[in-house]
Amino acid sequence: MSDLIRRRLLKGLLALLGLFGGAVLLDIWSGARRFSEARWQRLLPIDQLPPDGVVPLPQMKVALLVSPKKIAAISLECTHLGCLVTVNERGFYCPCHGSEFGPRGQVYNGPATRDLPWHRLRLHHGAIWVLSGRKQTSPFWHPREESPA
């Protein structure tokens, strides 16, 4: 095998290794990013909850649905293009293009076609925490009481 062929093979092999290494690094980076986007955020102290109703927290892009026995966190991000929905007497309303959602986030009128998603939540150290960055399609109801550690 001539030197020229050997050099070309070596260059090709190095290029392949570079591509493979780049792909591995990209995968690690995107996985780490996905993991870091989901994090627990403190919303408010448990004793500030009303006995019943909806507590919008637009700065956190969630609303708490509160009943005497349980709590759930629904996303306030419209499933059409992500505008912040507001709470009204029928449920939720998106001021950007007029989508309407029911009291449990179900689509009443488009252009949105998907229900509002939900967040996991937990009660910890006297406060309500929500898992942001990761949403689910069904509600996650948590008892109003903080479970003993």
Q: Is 84 in the site for ligand FES (CB under 6 A)?
A: no
In this complex, which beta carbon is closest to ligand FES, that of residue 80 or of residue 119? 80
127 exposure class (CB count in 10 Å sphere: 0-12, 13-18, 19+): middle
Name the minimum Å distance from CB 83 to ligand FES: 4
Report the distance separating Cα 9 and Cα 65, nearest Å.
64
Q: Which is nearer to ligand FES, 62 or 78 (CB)?
A: 78
Residue selected from 94, 121, 128, 130 as contacting ligand FES according to rule CB under 6 A? 94
Sheet with 86-87, edge to edge strand ranges = 86-87, 92-93, 100-101, 107-109
Block residue for tokens 């929500």:
130
Interior angle at CA 48, CA 138 and CA 62, nearest 5: 35
Please report how close the Cβ of residue 106 comes to ligand FES at its closest, in angstroms. 15
Give the number of residues in contact with ligand FES, rule: CB under 6 A.
Answer: 11
Q: By CB under 6 A, is residue 74 in contact with ligand FES?
A: no
Of 32-40, 48-56, 93-101, 139-147: span binding ligand FES (CB under 6 A): 93-101
How many other C-beta atoms are found inside a 10 Å radius of the C-beta of residue 80? 18
CB 80 within 8 A of CB 98: no
The site for ligand FES (CB under 6 A) is made up of 78, 80-81, 83, 94, 96-99, 111-112
